[in-house]
Amino acid sequence: MKATAKAHTNIALIKYWGKRDESLILPMNSSLSLTLNAFYTETTVTFKPDLSEDKFFLDNELIVGDQFTKVSKFLDLIRNYADVPDLFAEVHSTNAVPTAAGFASSASGFAALAAAASRALDLKLDESTLSRLTRQGSGSACRSVYGGFVEWEKGTQDDGSDSYAVPVAPQDHWDVRVAAVVLSSVMKKVSSREGMKRTVETSPFYSAWVDNIPTDLTQIKEAIQDRDFERMGEIAEANCQKMHATTLAANPPFTYWHDTTLTVMQTVQGLREKGIPAYFTIDAGPNVKVLYQPENEEVVQQTLREIPGVTNVILSRSGQGVTYK
């Protein structure tokens, strides 16, 4: 009745942006990510017959409100799956991720929660089933079940049975590095959930976004197989800009970028002009992730740290999928 699991966050190189079903969390488009070793969540779930409701502790603090409700609703899914609707749990999570600053703490959070809760109930899920369940906590989390490069296949079924992640290349396939550039620790104003909903409903650019995805995915998977860093970087950077363009055309329009976000983007482009291949990508927040190769670690790190307004640069490598203790 007790289990501990660890899951890492992932950074999308081809973004998930928009849902076709909000309650089952089914995406409009397939996406592709790299799991990162520097950011993770470790979660212990203990089901206890004497509890009358769930309890959720994050970094030793009892959580109430929306964050608790999301966790408890997700545990309902696991309880229903296991056919134990009245068995509640105590959940203890520790996060090695700056929460809600565009680092997708929900990705590692729900992947670790799904893995620990299903293991605590002895469900013996295969990885696709675990990914499918995890998806219903937070979409991007379904990719964190696996390490390395991972694709989330959007699927076509209304019940979501064919919408889950599949591995594209394992953690040791290719030593690509990611520098997470932290600009500000303030909570983002428009959550990814709300932002993608507004974009799907109101942005005239949204259909172009969806139409472009199959080409981006085919090309980036070829680049990953060939270990062609510049090709992969160009596709990822362009895909990020396309996603963020949809938000500018939404009603009301919005952007996740701060002034320093643009400075970092321009600095990365400036590195390329000096012959150093580096590419950026940005999720639903102001922080920037920079893709680079191991031999350029020093110069990339140094350049990013010198930008005024950058408070931290965290270096990461390809990470592993879900593990158990």
Give the nearer residue to ligand DP6 in terms of CB position, either 104 or 310.
104
Q: Does 31 bind ligand DP6 (CB under 6 A)?
A: yes
95/43 Cα distance (integer angstroms): 9
Contact 161, 153 (CB under 8 A): no
Please count the residues of this chain forming the interface with ligand DP6, following the rule CB under 6 A: 15
Task: Return the range that interacts with ligand DP6 (CB under 6 A); candidates 39-47, 138-146, 291-299, 304-312.
Answer: 138-146
Among 5, 25, 130, 291, binds ligand DP6 (CB under 6 A): 25
Supply the DSSP string of 121-158, one letter for each residue: TT----HHHHHHHHHTT-GGGGGGGSSSEEEEE----T
CA 89 from centre of chain: 25
Looking at the DSSP assignment, which residues form a beta bridge with residue 3? 45
Contact 322, 126 (CB under 8 A): no
Among 92, 193, 258, 317, binds ligand DP6 (CB under 6 A): 193
Among 29, 43, 192, 303, binds ligand DP6 (CB under 6 A): 192
Measured at CB, which residue is nearest to ligand DP6?
A: 139
Looking at the DSSP assignment, which residues form a beta bridge with residue 55? 90
Give the nearer residue to ligand DP6 in terms of CB position, either 17 or 88.
17
Give the nearer residue to ligand DP6 in terms of CB position, either 46 or 144.
144
Q: Does 106 bind ligand DP6 (CB under 6 A)?
A: yes
- Of residues 247-266, which lie at the interface with ligand DP6 (CB under 6 A)? none
Q: Which two tokens stand for residue 56?
A: 């959720």
Contact 180, 319 (CB under 8 A): no
Give the nearer residue to ligand DP6 in terms of CB position, either 236 or 313.
236
Give the nearer residue to ligand DP6 in terms of CB position, either 121 or 180.
180
Contact 310, 268 (CB under 8 A): no
Q: Which two tokens stand for residue 253?
A: 């329009």
Q: Does 140 bind ligand DP6 (CB under 6 A)?
A: yes
Q: Does 12 bind ligand DP6 (CB under 6 A)?
A: yes
Q: Does 138 bind ligand DP6 (CB under 6 A)?
A: yes
Strand, helix or coil at 26? strand
Q: Which two tokens stand for residue 124?
A: 């013996």
Q: Which residues sit at the interface with ligand DP6, rule CB under 6 A?
A: 12, 15-17, 25, 31, 104, 106, 138-140, 192-193, 283-284
